[in-house]
């Protein structure tokens, strides 16, 4: 897992979502992590460890 994930970060997931997008915007961090799919707008909540394992990388404005 790369860096600390913060609210507002866009993360790229290892798996593509059902809608075809693989990027999510984080809207909540803590014991549970919340993110909204940039493709279809669906929101998910996952326990932090599970979420961090699912993340491939954090997409920062500087790189993208």
Task: Find the binder of Zn ion among 14, 19, 48, 60 (CB under 5 A).
Answer: 19
Q: How many CA atoms lie within 13 A of 15 on its CB side?
A: 7
Task: Find the binder of Zn ion among 1, 14, 16, 40 (CB under 5 A).
Answer: 40
Regarding 25 and contact with Zn ion (CB under 5 A), the answer is no
Alpha-helix runs per DSSP H in 2-64: 48-54
Task: Find the binder of Zn ion among 22, 27, 36, 39 (CB under 5 A).
Answer: 39
Contact 1, 56 (CB under 8 A): no
- Taking the least distance from each CB to Zn ion, the nearer of 21 and 29 is 21
């Amino acid at each position: 897992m790369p860096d600390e994930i913060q609210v507002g970060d866009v993360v790229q997931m290892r798996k593509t979502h059902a809608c075809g997008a693989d990027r999510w915007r984080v809207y909540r961090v803590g014991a549970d992590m919340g993110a909204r799919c940039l493709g279809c707008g669906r929101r998910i909540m996952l326990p932090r460890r599970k979420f961090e394992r699912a993340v491939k990388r954090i997409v920062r404005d500087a790189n993208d």
